[in-house]
């Protein structure tokens, strides 16, 4: 078995090294970061991973053509994290939707004027029928789909970029780097919040180890941190965008806010073409005041997209305004984060809509399935759009993309959409096709036998074995004698 | 050792029962909920806990005068949970403030036009100096103080209620029940979010078991669930507020939204006196449109309180409006939650301000200390107020308590406040007076030796013992032979 090490030789360079005991740690304990000191160890040349940097047979170290070429592997990791965010969130919401469908709580007393308890044979209300439970869970079904769909678009861009990198072309690298930074930090954060919200929505049983969610959360949460949270920007004047740096053709490895400021600059001066996922700024900078919703519906995809475009553009314009007032870049972290979020939420909506539009041409979808699939995905896309407007309402209102008297309409549409989603919630999550083995949850069993699942899991707990009970009783007797 | 059981006899009634092996489970495994079946077990009369319900020597069971008397114990638990929310959050934010003060990341390159790395002897920037880190952490210092202060006010009310309950008077019970429901669900949720945010703000090391935060989070998070989340309301017409039920003098064990609807009804009809913590509704229902901020500052306590009063009142009025349109109570869970949050955030601000005003009369504070203490607490109170406005901005904007062009002013004041808090962040958290032993965190050491703490903790990890290394190497050799 072989271990891949990153070590400082001439530069940071990956190579392969064999060591029995370290292998064992990896096998036994999962992923660990270890510091290893080498003393007179020779790494065979064939063990050097020489995709871009090379070592000649004479031992000469040759730098890659561009020093950013190896950044491609960081982008790879982020692309997979965006995809994983969708699937892990899907896993939690599958368990929660199944359990809240099975679980019943409270019911209407038989006599409206009496507070006596209801007859034992009356079924209580399904937990999933409560509006607050729907409002908590269903947006995460939509978000799981949205993240998975967006990750396929990003993966396509990434593969194109990789093909170009193989030819040592770095044109796409800056754009894909910025895009994946935004999606990764936003997506993993939202997914972790969603997993915990699913646990809370299941009440007391959600905290049980048998729910499977507590372990999922503990395993998932580090993804928020690794590969960066994008909340810290370097406090450097050098990095502050200036007209000179806007014109620079070399790829700058900026996070998404600096990328957006450059795109805004391009749109303002009309000097260069914007990228496919940012050219909405060209349209949106020409708007002013609140969006006119009097002749259109919040369920119109074009209207939804316009709202997200206008809001994102104005958040970036606010950031640019703050930069112009001379505030230090390090002092603008919060505004940068807001710009990153607004753009990312737009990108996800855009990807989702394009995927739905392109279904007819998708060779993986049978002709007969397109209509039904499109209807369901459209519902999920609406739900993503409106629940995002609702959760980011402060941003839509403060940029005057929406005005306060639109809020009731947003709430009404969202409520109708949640009601409309209810009959589909179980099939929508079944469609993730997780096996019971993979879900590892007594509450989220495919057959809906949550309580049987809990009972079986409790019986299988070593603490309930005969041996343990006997032992506990013996120790208890000693304890009782000692106390008395 | 004795165990307290709740069992169904005539009613739910607490009594004391001895059992060696169950004791042991409690000792070994912490708190567990266990089902016990009794078969021919006699509970001695002196073991019956007979505060309200009684069992006579002849075995006759006598119900308490009011069937809600025993609800007092649920309120006790909630009061302690509100207090605990403040302290546990304080614990996490103490660790995070200390570590981000010690931790440094990134620095300004020596030459602004060069991207070369900085000299090794230049210190990087303290993480706590970044605006996003301040914006993430400092509001939780303020919130920890606010929760602790509010819990003392609630405790005073609770003690008055308990004294009345001892005389079988239940006048205060409904009010304190509703108040503690709101504070408990909001406070524990915010505290858990804050603990996790503190972990994230510490980057990769925050996820280490040695940070102490992951264990704190895992231990704390069930508090969000037990004693209820208050997000589910019973779908019963009986519980829907009606004029008849408003007039009912019997205490109704309503959650806070129903309590608020009744108070609103009182304010509208002028029929009855409102409680001390809800009579702001009398003033606020007379306002309309956005609050005039042209002649006042967002740092004026009266202005802050007015904003919270107006917003809470309008959220409750929106809820009342929705009830009047005939929507089912179960369909209004989200609106109920919003009303509960708005009122709770007002109550906490009100308690905080009153505590500061009353400092001169507080026998626990020495005369000389009052001025300095007041200055610091006022800063924290401002921070609680403005960071709450910022995080609940959608609510302040959609109720037209604030208008979009106020947002920049809120952001500017909050930013100045965060800067102003920075020099005090360490003493403000030191003032919680947690011992290193209690914090149990390598990163949050009082002496600031976070890295030494991490090193020591890693050395003490069994996996780094000589015995383990030797064993691992032996097993590794066997493994290597087997693979080859």
Task: Write the ipTM.
Answer: 0.82
Please report, to the nearest 10 degrees, the dihedral formed by the alpha carbons of residues B317, B323, B329, B334 taken in order. -40
Q: What is the chain B residue with the closest CA to A484? A: B1
**B62, β-bridge pairs:** B54
Q: Which of residues 202-221 of B touch A (CB under 8 A)?
A: 203-204, 206-207, 214, 218, 221
Which residue of A20, A203, A336 is in closest CB contact with B480?
A20
DSSP A431: T
Q: Which of residues 329-348 of B touch A (CB under 8 A)?
A: 330-334, 336-337
Q: Count CB-CB contacts under 10 A for residue A49.
A: 14
Query: For residue B372, which of B427, B310, B295 has the smallest C-alpha distance?
Result: B427
DSSP B444: T
Nearest CA of chain A to the CA of B140: how many Å? 16
Calculate mean pLDDT across residues A247-272: 74
Tell me whether residues B24 and A334 touch, CB distance under 8 A. Answer: no
Give residue B121's pLDDT: 52
Q: Is the pLDDT of residue A427 over 50?
A: yes
Q: Which two tokens stand for residue B356?
A: 């500061």
Nearest CA of chain B to the CA of A299: how many Å? 21
Separation CA B416–CA B134 (nearest Å)? 11
Nearest CA of chain A to the CA of B247: how many Å? 15
Tell me whether residues B200 and A105 touch, CB distance under 8 A. Answer: no
Give residue B159's pLDDT: 92
Separation in Å, CA B70 to CA B162, B174, B292: 11, 13, 47
> Was domain A71-107+124-224 assigned CATH 3.20.20.105?
no
Tell me whether residues B238 and A109 touch, CB distance under 8 A. Answer: yes
How many residue pairs from chains A and B have C-beta atoms closer than 8 A? 196
Helix (H, G, I), strand (E, B) or coil at A424: helix
Which residue of B398, B415, B483 is in closest CB contact with A393?
B398
Q: Is the pLDDT of residue A250 over 50?
A: no
Choose, out of B398, B469, B471, B474, the residue to mutate when testing the contact with A (most A CBs < 10 Å).
B398
Nearest CA of chain A to the CA of B448: how many Å? 22
Separation CA B5–CA B36 (nearest Å)? 9
Cβ-based neighbours of B255, under 8 Å, separated by 6 or more:
B178, B181, B182, B230, B233, B336, B340
Nearest CA of chain B to the CA of A359: how many Å? 35
| Beta carbons of B37 and B119 less than 8 angstroms apart | no
Give residue A225's pLDDT: 80
CATH number attached to the domain at B237-430: 1.20.140.10
Per-residue pLDDT reduced to its tens digit, A439-479: 999 999 999 999 999 999 988 888 778 888 788 777 777 76
Q: Is the pLDDT of residue B310 over 90?
A: yes
Average pLDDT over all residues of chain B: 82
Q: What is the chain A residue with the closest CA to B337? A: A132
Give residue A17's pLDDT: 57
Give residue A121's pLDDT: 52
Calculate mean pLDDT across residues A361-372: 82
Tell me whether residues A476 and B24 touch, CB distance under 8 A. Answer: yes
Which residue of B112, B237, B476 is in closest CB contact with A238?
B112
Separation CA B398–CA B125 (nearest Å)? 39
DSSP A126: B
pLDDT tier at B167 (50, 70, 90 boundaries)? confident
Q: Which of residues 367-396 of B touch A (CB under 8 A)?
A: 393-394
> Would an 8 Å CB–CB cutoff place B483 in contact with chain A?
yes
Tell me whether residues B476 and A20 touch, CB distance under 8 A. Answer: yes
> Would an 8 Å CB–CB cutoff place A476 in contact with chain B?
yes
Name the packing angle between helices A301-324 and A369-391 (round to 10°). Answer: 40
> Would an 8 Å CB–CB cutoff place A29 in contact with chain B?
yes
Query: For residue A74, which of A165, A145, A201 has the smallest C-alpha distance?
Result: A165
Nearest CA of chain A to the CA of B316: how many Å? 15
| Beta carbons of A149 and A355 less than 8 angstroms apart | yes
Q: Is the pLDDT of residue A34 over 70?
A: no
Q: Which two tokens stand for residue A421?
A: 């989603």
Tell me whether residues A232 and B127 touch, CB distance under 8 A. Answer: yes
> Would an 8 Å CB–CB cutoff place B14 in contact with chain A?
no
**DSSP, residue by residue, B141-167:** HHHHHHHHHHHHHHHHHHHHHHHHHHT
Give residue A464's pLDDT: 79
Cβ-based neighbours of B270, under 8 Å, separated by 6 or more:
none
Give residue B164's pLDDT: 87
Which residue of B24, B206, B337 is in closest CB contact with A479?
B24
Separation CA A294–CA A116 (nearest Å)? 49
Q: What is the chain B residue with the closest CA to A470? A: B21
Calculate mean pLDDT across residues B334-350: 95
What phi, psi does A202 have (nearest 5°)? -90, 5
Tell me whether residues B132 and A334 touch, CB distance under 8 A. Answer: yes
Nearest CA of chain A to the CA of B274: how many Å? 26
> Would an 8 Å CB–CB cutoff place A73 in contact with chain B?
no
Q: Which of A99-113, A394-408, B453-467 has the highest mean pLDDT?
A: A394-408
Task: Tell me which chain B residues have a C-beta less than 8 angstroms from the C-beta of A136.
Answer: 231
Separation in Å, CA A113 to CA A366, B132, B235, B259: 56, 54, 14, 19
Helix (H, G, I), strand (E, B) or coil at B439: helix
Separation CA B360–CA B358 (nearest Å)? 6
End-to-end CA distance of chain B: 58
pLDDT tier at B12 (50, 70, 90 boundaries)? low
Task: Tell me which chain B residues have a C-beta less than 8 angstroms from the C-beta of A399.
Answer: 404
> Would an 8 Å CB–CB cutoff place B21 in contact with chain A?
yes
In the block, residue with structure tokens 């079986």: A456
Separation CA B44–CA A192 (nearest Å)? 51
Tell me whether residues A200 and B135 touch, CB distance under 8 A. Answer: no
Cβ-based neighbours of B351, under 8 Å, separated by 6 or more:
B146, B149, B150, B152, B153, B154
Separation CA A130–CA B331 (nearest Å)? 7
Tell me whether residues B207 and A221 touch, CB distance under 8 A. Answer: yes
Tell me whether residues B204 and A226 touch, CB distance under 8 A. Answer: yes
Task: Tell me which chain A residues have a C-beta less than 8 angstroms from the C-beta of B225.
Answer: 200, 203-204, 206-207
> Would an 8 Å CB–CB cutoff place B108 in contact with chain A?
yes
**B15, β-bridge pairs:** B5, B48
Q: Which of A406-415, A457-466, B8-17 has the highest mean pLDDT?
A: A406-415
Separation CA B277–CA B183 (nearest Å)? 13
Please report, to the nearest 10 degrees, the dihedral formed by the alpha carbons of residues A307, A309, A312, A318 taken in order. -90
Tell me whether residues A479 and B206 touch, CB distance under 8 A. Answer: no
Cβ-based neighbours of A188, under 8 Å, separated by 6 or more:
A81, A85, A223, A224
Give residue B108's pLDDT: 47
Q: Count CB-CB contacts under 10 A for residue A83.
A: 20
Task: Tell me which chain A residues have a C-beta less than 8 angstroms from the C-beta of B114.
Answer: 238
Separation in Å, CA A29 to CA A2, A32, A349, B202: 16, 7, 39, 24
Q: Count CB-CB contacts under 10 A for residue B394.
A: 20
Nearest CA of chain B to the CA of A397: how many Å? 6
Separation CA A299–CA A15 (nearest Å)? 53
Q: Where are the beta strands (DSSP E) in A30-174?
A: 54-55, 61-62
In the block, residue with structure tokens 């070429």: A69
Calculate mean pLDDT across residues B129-133: 90
Q: What is the chain A residue with the closest CA to B253? A: A115
Tell me whether residues B200 and A224 touch, CB distance under 8 A. Answer: yes
Among A386-390, B102-106, B116-120, the range scoring the smallest mean pLDDT is B116-120
Q: Is the dihedral of CA B259, B262, B267, B270 positive or negative?
A: negative
Tell me whether residues B204 and A225 touch, CB distance under 8 A. Answer: yes
> Would an 8 Å CB–CB cutoff place B3 in contact with chain A?
no
Q: What is the chain A residue with the closest CA to B419? A: A331
DSSP B14: E
Q: Is the pLDDT of residue A309 over 90?
A: yes
Query: For residue B145, which of B367, B389, B349 has the smallest C-alpha distance?
Result: B349
Tell me whether residues B20 and A337 touch, CB distance under 8 A. Answer: no
Separation in Å, CA B332 to CA A429, B1, B318: 25, 47, 11
Separation CA B169–CA B409 (nearest Å)? 49
Give residue A27's pLDDT: 30
Tell me whether residues B135 and A334 touch, CB distance under 8 A. Answer: yes
Tell me whether residues A24 and B393 touch, CB distance under 8 A. Answer: no
The domain made up of B70-107+124-224 has a fold known as: Butyryl-CoA Dehydrogenase, subunit A; domain 3 (1.20.140)
Which helix (H) or strand (E) segment holds residue B357: the answer is helix B333-357
Separation CA A339–CA A256 (nearest Å)? 8
Same fold, B70-107+124-224 and B237-430: yes
Give residue B3's pLDDT: 38
Domain regions of chain B by residue span: 3-63, 70-107+124-224, 237-430
Strands B54-55 and B61-62: antiparallel
Separation CA B61–CA A32 (nearest Å)? 62
Which residue of A225, A238, A404 is in closest CB contact with B398?
A404
Per-residue pLDDT reduced to its tens digit, B378-436: 999 999 999 999 999 999 999 999 999 999 999 999 999 999 999 999 999 999 999 99
Which residue of B127, B331, B415 is in closest CB contact with A131?
B331
Nearest CA of chain B to the CA of A448: how many Å? 22
pLDDT tier at A14 (50, 70, 90 boundaries)? low
Separation CA B233–CA B333 (nearest Å)? 6
Separation CA A9–CA A13 (nearest Å)? 7
> Would an 8 Å CB–CB cutoff place A297 in contact with chain B?
no
Tell me whether residues A330 and B237 touch, CB distance under 8 A. Answer: no
């Amino acid at each position: 078995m072989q271990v891949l090490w990153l070590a400082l030789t001439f530069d940071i360079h990956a190579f392969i090294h064999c060591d029995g005991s370290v292998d064992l740690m990896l096998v036994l304990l999962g992923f660990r970061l270890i510091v290893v000191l080498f003393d007179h160890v020779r790494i065979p040349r064939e063990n050097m991973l020489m995709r871009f940097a090379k070592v000649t047979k004479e031992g000469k170290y040759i730098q890659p053509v561009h020093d950013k070429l190896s950044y491609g592997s960081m982008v790879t990791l982020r692309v997979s994290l965006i995809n994983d965010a969708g699937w892990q969130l899907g896993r939690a919401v599958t368990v929660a939707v199944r359990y809240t469908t099975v679980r019943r709580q409270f019911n209407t007393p038989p006599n409206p004027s009496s507070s006596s308890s209801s007859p034992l044979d009356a079924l209580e209300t399904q937990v999933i029928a409560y509006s607050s439970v729907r409002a908590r869970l269903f947006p995460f079904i939509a978000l799981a789909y949205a993240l998975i769909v967006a990750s396929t678009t990003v993966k396509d861009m990434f593969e194109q970029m990789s093909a170009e990198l193989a030819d040592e072309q770095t044109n796409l690298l800056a754009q894909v780097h910025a895009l994946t930074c935004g999606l990764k930090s936003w997506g993993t954060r939202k997914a972790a919040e969603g997993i915990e919200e699913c646990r809370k929505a299941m009440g007391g049983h959600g905290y049980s180890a048998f729910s499977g969610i507590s372990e999922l959360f503990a395993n998932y949460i580090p993804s928020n941190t690794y590969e960066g949270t994008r909340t810290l920007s370097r406090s450097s004047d050098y990095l502050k965008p200036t007209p000179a740096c806007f014109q620079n053709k070399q790829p700058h490895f900026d996070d998404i806010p600096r990328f957006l400021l450059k795109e805004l600059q391009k749109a303002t001066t009309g000097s260069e073409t914007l990228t496919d996922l940012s050219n909405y700024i060209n349209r949106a900078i020409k708007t002013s005041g609140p969006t006119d919703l009097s002749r259109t519906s919040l369920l119109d995809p074009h209207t939804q997209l316009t709202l997200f475009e206008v809001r994102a553009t104005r958040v970036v314009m606010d950031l640019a305004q703050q930069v112009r007032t001379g505030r230090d870049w390090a002092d603008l972290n919060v505004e940068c984060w807001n710009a990153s979020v607004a753009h990312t939420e737009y990108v996800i909506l855009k990807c989702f809509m394009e995927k739905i539009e392109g279904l007819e041409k998708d060779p993986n979808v049978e002709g007969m399935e397109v209509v039904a699939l499109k209807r369901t995905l459209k519902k999920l896309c609406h739900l993503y759009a409106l629940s995002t407007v609702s959760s980011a309402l402060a941003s839509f209102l403060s940029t005057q993309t929406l005005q306060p008297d639109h809020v009731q309409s947003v709430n009404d549409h969202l409520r109708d959409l949640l009601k409309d989603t209810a009959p589909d919630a179980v099939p929508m999550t079944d469609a993730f096709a997780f096996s019971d083995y993979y879900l590892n949850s007594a509450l989220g069993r495919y057959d809906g036998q949550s309580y049987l699942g809990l009972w079986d899991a409790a019986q299988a707990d070593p603490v309930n074995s005969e041996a343990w009970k006997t032992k506990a009783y013996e120790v208890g007797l000693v304890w009782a004698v000692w106390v008395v």
